[in-house]
Structure 1
Amino acid sequence: MAPGTLDNVVYGLFSTHALHLADRHGVLAHLIERGPSSAADTAAALTIDAETLERLLLVLAAVSVVERDADGRYRVAEQTAPFLDSRDPRYLGGFVDHLVTNTTGQLTRLHHYLERGKEAVDAALPSPFETIYRDEEATESFLRAMWQLSFEPSKELAGLAGLDGTRRLVDVGGASGAFAVAALDRYPELHVTVFDLPEVGTHLERTRDARGLGDRLGFAAGDFFRDPLPAADCVSFGYILSDWEDDFCLELLRKAHKACASGGRVLIMERLFDEDGGPLPTAAMNLSMHVETRGRHRTAAEYTALLEEAGFTDCVTRRSSWDKHLVIGSRP
């Protein structure tokens, strides 16, 4: 019999898809709203197949996502419920959907990378964000996943950033505004401009209008490899530098140095590798970066080295209680 850690790896394929399907077909929402229910009763309420549902729920019970009582009724485990409830800001359903519908299909390229290398295999493919923003549906799916991954951690990161006294912040590649909104909610004197590709503009406008932020949240369309960054007291990069190689990251940080006011700062918000190579979510997303982008995850020391080479000083790392942390550099 294989050890439990190996079982989790071998059979993880099934639990991920079971979770995705249970969320997609409203099973988790039903159990959260109605309480414990049998597979048969849940299937009848949702007009889905009872036998298939029972098998999916048994997988989710085996990995403790749901719990099964002596009467065969299922309930969503208390510790996982906030992350599986679409009404909760910690909901991860959109991210799981992105993993299953986008990332999984691209992982097959890893076989060819091993044989020929990424550069040769990807030579004829479009750039990463041409693929990610290939149409409105793909753009919406990606931005939804990024919001779900980023908004709750951004609340804590905004506090760790210490933006009291900062008036103008430019959030580079800020997507639909997860960090921008978190910072604006915390610092009433702050104004934020999200700098991103034109495809993102309408999505950010929806965020601004839905949250009543008015002219405190602006959008500047551009390509950060071709265009200069808007001037600011502080420049932030959330989940951006992990998309690119070191040379591109250094180029971006040098642009941030030029855009940043004297005495200003740059914020790098990323998953960070420990010195021993963990944790698992960072290692897994590092593999995802390999097929979906051109980047990788790094240690805090590696980001500090890039910041210093770009001209920033007094670099510090501030770790959050989430899996996304903050590395800060100051412009002398």
Structure 2
Amino acid sequence: MPSSSLDRAMFGMFSTHALHLADKHGVFTQLMAGGPATPAAVAAARRIDEETLERLLVVLASVSVLERGTDGTYRVADGLSPFFDTESPRYIGGFVRHLVTNTTGRLEQLDDYLTRGKAVVDADLPAPFDVIYHDEEATREFLEAMWNLSFGVSEELAGLAGLDGVRDLVDVGGASGAFAVAALARYPELNVTVFDLPAVGPFLENTRREQGLHDRLGFAPGDFFRDPLPAAECLSFGYILSDWDDKTCVDLLRKAYDACTSGGRVLLMERLFDEDGGPLATAAMNLSMHVETQGRHRTAAEYQGLLREAGFGECTTHRSTWDKHLIVGRKA
């Protein structure tokens, strides 16, 4: 018989799809609002097929996302409700949808990579962000996934960054503003400018309006490969360097060094590998980076090495209670 670890490796794709469909069709919302319920009751309330739903619920219970009672009812497992609550900063639905609708299909490229090499295969493919931002709907889906992935932890990372007294921060590749919003909420004297591709502008404007941030949250359109970065006391990169190879990262960090005022700092916010190659989420997303971008995940020591090569010193690592952490470099 296969071990439980082998079972998880073989059948993980089923639980991911079950998670996505249960979120998409409001199953978690129903269970959280109405309490434990049978598949028949949930199916009737959500107007979905009972037999298919029951099979999905069995899968989710087998991976402890749901708990099944002796009376045949299901409930969301203790501690997981925030991850399925669309109003919670921990909500993961948008990110799971991205995994299912985008990442899963692209994993087929790995076979080609193994036989021909990534450089050869990618030479025939469009650039990563030409795919991600190829139209408004694709841009919206990606930015929603990034918000789900980033906003909750950003509240903690903003605290770890210690930005008291900092007046200006430029969030490089800041998307629709997850870290910017968290930082602005914590530091009332701070102003943030998101620097990102022009296609992101309308989505950042929606965030500014919805969050009531008015003049404190700005947008600077540009391409960080072609344009200089806006000057600031602090520049931040959240899930940016993991998109690129080491040389490109150092080039970007040198631009950040030039834009950073004397005595300022740069913040890197990334998943981090442990020395033993874990955790699983980082290892899995490292594989995702291989097919969706040109980058990889790294250890804290590797990120500190990139910072030092770009000229930054006093490099420190600050670990959060989530799976995204903070590395800080200072400009002398």
Report TM bin, short chain: over 0.9
C-alpha displacement at 1:207, in angstroms?
0.5
Deviation readout 1:5-37 (Å, 9 max, x if unpaired):
111111111111111111111111111111111
SS at 2:242's partner residue?
A: helix
Once the two structures are superposed, the pairs formed by residues 263-302 of structure 1 within 5 Å of their partners are 263-302=263-302
Instruction: Give the superposed CA RMSD.
Output: 0.7
Aligned to 2:139: 139
Aligned to 1:174: 174
Once the two structures are superposed, the pairs formed by residues 41-120 of structure 1 within 5 Å of their partners are 41-120=41-120
- Aligned residue identity for 1:107: L
SS at 1:64's partner residue?
A: coil
Deviation readout 1:264-301 (Å, 9 max, x if unpaired):
00110100111111111110000000000000001111
Aligned to 2:311: 311
SS at 2:322's partner residue?
A: coil
- Aligned residue identity for 2:54: E
Once the two structures are superposed, the pairs formed by residues 227-246 of structure 1 within 5 Å of their partners are 227-246=227-246
C-alpha displacement at 1:87, in angstroms?
2.1
TM-score calculated relative to the size of structure 1 = 0.99
- Aligned residue identity for 2:206: R
Provide the identity percentage.
70
Once the two structures are superposed, the pairs formed by residues 19-58 of structure 1 within 5 Å of their partners are 19-58=19-58
Structure 2: distance between partners of 1:98 and 1:270: 19
Deviation readout 1:139-176 (Å, 9 max, x if unpaired):
11110110111011111111111101111100000000
Structure 1: distance between partners of 2:253 and 2:82: 36
Aligned to 1:209: 209
- Aligned residue identity for 1:280: L
Gaps of 5+ in 2: none
Structure 2: distance between partners of 1:290 and 1:163: 33
Aligned to 2:183: 183
Structure 2: distance between partners of 1:48 and 1:109: 34
Aligned to 2:3: 3
Aligned to 2:330: 330
Residue 253 of structure 2 corresponds to residue 257 of structure 1: no
C-alpha displacement at 1:76, in angstroms?
1.0
Deviation readout 1:225-249 (Å, 9 max, x if unpaired):
0000000000100000000011110
Structure 1: distance between partners of 2:25 and 2:152: 25
Deviation readout 1:109-137 (Å, 9 max, x if unpaired):
00110001001011111111110011111
Deviation readout 1:304-332 (Å, 9 max, x if unpaired):
11111111111111111111111111111
Structure 2: distance between partners of 1:292 and 1:20: 20
Gaps of 5+ in 1: none
SS at 1:296's partner residue?
A: coil
Structure 1: distance between partners of 2:178 and 2:85: 19
SS at 1:11's partner residue?
A: helix
C-alpha displacement at 1:41, in angstroms?
1.3
Deviation readout 1:76-122 (Å, 9 max, x if unpaired):
11222111121221010100000000000000000110001001011
Structure 2: distance between partners of 1:211 and 1:64: 35
Q: How many residue pairs are counted as aligned between the two chains?
A: 332
C-alpha displacement at 1:67, in angstroms?
1.0
Structure 2: distance between partners of 1:176 and 1:211: 12
Structure 1: distance between partners of 2:149 and 2:56: 25
TM-score calculated relative to the size of structure 2 = 0.99
